[in-house]
Amino acid sequence: RLSMSTVSPDKRRKMESALNQLKKHTVVVADTGDFNAIDEYKPQDATTNPSLILAAAKMPAYQHLLDQAINYGIAKGGTEEEQVAHTMDKLFVTFGLEILKKVPGRVSTEVDARLSFDKDEMVAKALGLIALYKEAGISKERVLIKLSSTWEGIQAGKELEEKHGVHCNMTLLFSFAQAVACAEAKVTLISPFVGRILDWYKENTDRKSYEPHEDPGVLSVTKIYNYYKKFGYTTVVMGASFRNTGQVKALTGCDLLTISPGLLAELSQDHSSITEMLNVEKAKACDLEKIHLDEKDFRWQHNEDRMAVEKLSDGIRKFAADAIKLETMIKEKMLDVKNGQ
């Protein structure tokens, strides 16, 4: 048996999984509501969204959490609508609490996408979620509030960070304009999407395949990372929405990457050698100019990017649709509980 010290560094890398190599350069985050699926990959943080919570809430393994949330909602009283709203909030937080037992870092919990154009309502909903975490003994330092990266969402993030010390994760981020506005709002973290950008290019252009280094989603996150690092913004970059491990590897060195359990599994079985693609030194040497965006500029620049406009609105619609599905599921279960079934 060879002791590791006698093995050449190259050989050792070949023995090491791509996932473990990635962790040397990037904070690995699990993107799922199915927290039983993340243990073996030892991620630092985890992220959820309405679609992931809906998927997990349908699994038999998590029915007790749904029941807990429903009992809480009923106990809160009020109209059926209010009870359902309380149940939804409690369900999102309950999943977050379970996830926090599995990860040492933070969990991201998303604000209802139907509030994406209402700054004050997003702030209120976020503070309500943080209060539920606090009731359960979890400080706001371990929670990231996810907000849609609309102009209103970004301003909600700014207010939550400045006035309330609540850390935000700006999601559904597809355009460079969105990234610049988030940096200027001094939010904690952004989640620029990779896979959904690739999806759009495959659907809307003649080109159907891309090598990772020329993947439009990878290029988008790389540019955003370089811009943030070149100009010393404190907001960190967490690439999200991956379709394959090639995209993940092409962003090695990004501050964080949030990855589905399926792709984490692939990376843990993959023993090819991976190299750091993004770093601060490279970013500093980049040819990028600093820009400032007020609301009018933001809306114009974002609107110039057809892909981003379509993917942001599509993302909001999809999360909203899944929130409605979840509410319908809750209403049906609530009736059963009230009818003593």
Question: What is the 3-class SS of the chain, one letter each residue?
Answer: CCCHHHCCHHHHHHHCCHHHHHHCCCEEEEECCCHHHCHHHCCCEEECCHHHHHHHHCCHHHHHHHHHHHHHHHHHCCCHHHHHHHHHHHHHHHHHHHHHCCCCCCEEEECCHHHCCCHHHHHHHHHHHHHHHHHCCCCHHHEEEEEECCHHHHHHHHHHHHHHCCCEEEEEECCHHHHHHHHHCCCCEEEEECHHHHHHHHHHCCCCCCCHHHCHHHHHHHHHHHHHHHCCCCCEEEEECCCCHHHHHCCCCCCEEEECHHHHHHHHHCCCCCCCCCCHHHHHCCCCCCCCCCHHHHHHHHHCCHHHHHHHHHHHHHHHHHHHHHHHHHHHHHHHHHCCC
Nearest to 126 by CA among 109, 151, 142: 109
Q: Is 14 a catalytic residue?
A: no
Residue 222 to residues 58, 152, 166, 309, 312: CA-CA distances in angstroms? 36, 25, 27, 20, 19
The catalytic residue among 146, 158, 249, 333 is 146
- Determine phi and psi for 291, rounding to 5 degrees: -125, 155
- Determine phi and psi for 45, rounding to 5 degrees: -130, 175
Catalogue the active-site residues: 146
